[in-house]
């Protein structure tokens, strides 16, 4: 698996996790809003001005939450655009070429440096493979975890 694809999977997993978190926070906020409205409506002594302040506070919270959510989504769009950009692919290809050129020069390298470089390359490759396996496992978990939240939100909106 190339690094670009692995990076996209990692970002998608993180994006799904945040989306799930935002959905959960929205559900909790809606429940808290209902509870607060019931409490305010049934509490004697709270003036209309007090109710208005509570509504303004709630509206400000919702606006702030939506602004944060929008900023996060825009950030992900920029990251995805960067990864889809040909400059990223060109940078990765050039880096691989430089690394390969360095490794091809190992005939003039001291034996210790040559061995260390080969060990480093093996460790790096093994680490990338393990990380890919970890991403693949967790993306599947995140997808299955996220599905029930969407169904719950759909039911609440009806």
Q: State the Cα–Cα distance between residues 41 and 54, nearest whole angstrom.
A: 12
Res 41: pLDDT: 84
**How many domains is the chain built from?**
1
State the pLDDT at residue 118.
79
pTM for this predicted structure: 0.52
Mean pLDDT computed over 127-136: 77
pLDDT at 37: 87
Question: Six-digit token pair at 50?
Answer: 């007090």
Q: Which of 25-34, 114-123, 128-137 has the lowest mean pLDDT?
A: 128-137
Average the pLDDT over 73-99 and give the result: 75
- Domain span at residue 55 reads 3-157
- In sequence order, which residues have a C-beta less than 8 Å from that of residue 23 and are 6 or more positions away? 149, 150, 153
């Amino acid at each position: 698996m190339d690094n670009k694809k692995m990076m996209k999977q990692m970002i998608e997993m993180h994006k799904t996790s945040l989306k799930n978190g935002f959905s959960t926070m929205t559900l909790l906020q809606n429940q808290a809003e209902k509870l607060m409205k019931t409490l305010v409506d049934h509490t004697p002594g709270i003036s209309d001005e007090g109710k208005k302040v509570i509504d303004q506070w709630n509206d400000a919270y919702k606006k702030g939450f939506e602004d944060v959510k929008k900023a996060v989504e825009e950030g992900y769009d920029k990251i995805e655009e960067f990864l889809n950009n040909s400059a990223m692919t060109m940078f990765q290809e050039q880096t691989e070429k430089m690394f390969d050129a360095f490794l091809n020069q190992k005939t003039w390298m001291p034996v210790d440096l040559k061995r260390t470089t080969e060990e480093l390359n093996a460790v790096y490759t093994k680490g990338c493979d393990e990380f890919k396996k970890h991403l693949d496992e967790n993306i599947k978990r995140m997808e299955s975890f996220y599905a029930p939240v969407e169904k719950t939100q759909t039911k609440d909106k009806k």
